[in-house]
A and B are shown apart, each in its own frame.
Chain A
Amino acid sequence: MSGSKTRSSSDRRILDEGTRMRRHKRQLEALEKDNHHDDPHASFAHLLNKVKLPSFSDGTEKKRRKTRSNADHFKQRFRKTFQSLLEELATNNNNNVKGPSYLTAAAPPSKFPPRHFCAVCGFPSSYKCVSCGTRYCCTRCLGTHQDTRCLKWTV
């Protein structure tokens, strides 16, 4: 009985450091999202596009470009993403524009050791899942973790 248990746990895949870090990065990115779901208008707009798209000839493209308004011009100039702003900043820094910036202002790591909480129930945790490194506090929570998330978030 106990033998089979050991085997089954040693059979579990163990995630390498790279995979764990990618997984962590994805979790942090999820915390930055404005919406979890899709724009309810998107399917509608998409449908419109679909109807219109085939009718676009070179001629209409040209016409469209000509009638671009000032607002569109503005959009072109200032259309940025946060990522492109960061890249711009990096270029400026290379060109010796010195001084404090977004990049230098990030708070450094804490001097205190991290605290650990169970990913399942949120209470203090003393254990780490062998397969993926997620924290858990008791066998019950470990079971839940293995049944739900353990190796399922890795794709």
Chain B
Amino acid sequence: MIDHTHLNMAASSTTLVLDNGASSLKIGIEKETEPVSVPNCITRTKTERRKSFIGNQLDDIKDLSGLYYLLPFQKGYLVNWDTQRQIWDHVYQSLLKITPSDLNLIVTEPPFNFQSVRDAMIEVLFEEYGFSSLTLTLPSSLSSFHQLMEYPERPCTLVVDSGYSFTHVVPYYRGKALLESTLRIDVGGKLLTNHLKEIISYRQLNVMDETYVMNQVKEDVCFVSQDLYTDMRKARGKQDTNTISLDYVLPDFTSVKTGYILPKGGKQHGTSEEQILRIGNERFSIPEILFNPSDVGIHQMGIPEAIVHCISTTPKPMHRYLYSNILVTGGSTRFPGFRERVLTDVRKLAPDTYPVDVTQHDRPDLVPWLGGQKLAQEGREGAGGHLQSVTQSEYKEGGLAQCHKKFYDNQIILHSNYN
């Protein structure tokens, strides 16, 4: 029954790449130029009492105020399978209209995924959806592969992945993760939005129920400061001298469909109905938490210090290569000034003898998917050995043990194995 000559080859010719993030999933066939980004949630509104909106159905909601979220992930790990399966069903059947049994799947899981979560994932994808073959990997591994394809001469990559639930710093040596040196900072986009909600609600207007709106405000106004105390001084300034503070018109979803920054010096507010937030030092103090979690009382290093600490725990010969090839990825690195600040801070903290360089893609949130795409194409050409897939038939023979061996053992490197 089983064709053993093809055991190690992917069983289908087309590969689906799914970067299954806690806030949005990025999905698409490898032939596409870009993935579709789908909110990885089910939402409910105040007005429609009997309807839930799955994934991108969120686009159909006219009044996004007081949106209620059901999320498959908790603290960055997939625990609500009911929710996840409803979203996957919708995405596969209605959005992409694909037949899983015709496809190989490359899918991501977070670093240090829990055994039972991974077991559930493999079981659901093979047995319920029936994918032809499966590759389970880290988003940062796909990103490092993307970087390796762009800069084949660089043996090491330090991937910083700052997403919705947390931020990881993962060093790579020739495409393999050094898990013993990997660090997690418990700050991500969700915490930043929640903190913004909290301080705006305290200082101006109760927006505690407005996660959707305030997330948009965060994306529209926040930036990473290059000099915190100077920006603080600027933010105190009156009217004309204040280059930081701005007015943000909140959407009311009737006359104002999306929030926007009120042009400076423009005429007074059009209608008195508009609800306006005055945003000052919040513009940079929110992303600042990524650089100093202690600003909100989280006793952990910020990103630049964690980079330096992480590298210091890797084998010495790698240090130079890691410092000179830092890749920042993930939605929470999209704040203007993020890359520059990481570069400046790491430069200050790193030994003088090492060159420091930081790379950022113009869509840092898509890099894992793009890396998966490259991996799918590379794998098909049979080069590398980076694509570790398990086929349906291998799964039926070897079960979960087979999967763990392939997905885990071949993708990481322990310090003791490095020479």
Interface set of A (CB-CB < 8 Å, partner B): 24, 27-28, 30-41, 44, 74-75, 77-82, 85, 88-89, 92, 99-102, 105-112, 114-115, 117, 120-124, 148-149
Verify B195–A109 contact, CB threshold 8 A: no
Least CB separation from A36: chain B residue: B208
Shortest distance between the CB of B307 and any CB in chain A (Å): 10
Verify A88–B114 contact, CB threshold 8 A: yes
* Residue B46 CB within 8 A of the other chain: yes
Verify A85–B182 contact, CB threshold 8 A: no
How far apart are the CA atoms of A149 and B414 in the complex, in Å? 49
Shortest distance between the CB of B211 and any CB in chain A (Å): 7
* Residue B301 CB within 8 A of the other chain: yes
Partner of A85, one of B117, B197, B236, B309: B117
Partner of B50, one of A34, A44, A109: A44
A37-B208, A40-B68 are contacts. A122–B285 as well, Cβ < 8 Å?
Answer: yes
How far apart are the CA atoms of A31 and B187 in the complex, in Å? 10
Q: Mark B153-172, 1 if CB is under 8 A from A, else 0.
A: 00000000000000011000
How far apart are the CA atoms of A101 and B203 in the complex, in Å? 40
Residues on the A chain within 8 Å of B64, using CB: none
Least CB separation from B185: chain A residue: A107
Shortest distance between the CB of A27 and any CB in chain B (Å): 7
Residues on the B chain within 8 Å of A41, using CB: 44, 49-50, 52, 68
Partner of B301, one of A28, A32, A75, A109: A109
Shortest distance between the CB of A25 and any CB in chain B (Å): 9
* Residue B90 CB within 8 A of the other chain: no
Verify A110–B292 contact, CB threshold 8 A: yes
How far apart are the CA atoms of A105 and B185 in the complex, in Å? 9
* Residue B112 CB within 8 A of the other chain: yes
A-B contact pairs, 25 of them (CB 8 A): A27-B296, A28-B298, A31-B191, A31-B194, A32-B190, A32-B194, A34-B70, A35-B211, A36-B211, A40-B49, A74-B81, A77-B120, A78-B116, A80-B79, A80-B114, A82-B79, A85-B116, A106-B300, A108-B300, A109-B294, A110-B294, A110-B300, A115-B292, A122-B199, A122-B281
Q: Mark B81-97, 1 if CB is under 8 A from A, else 0.
A: 11000000000000000
Verify B183–A105 contact, CB threshold 8 A: yes
How far apart are the CA atoms of A103 and B250 in the complex, in Å? 40
Verify A110–B194 contact, CB threshold 8 A: no
Lowest 5 A-B CB distances belong to which pairs? A114-B294, A36-B208, A78-B120, A102-B112, A82-B74
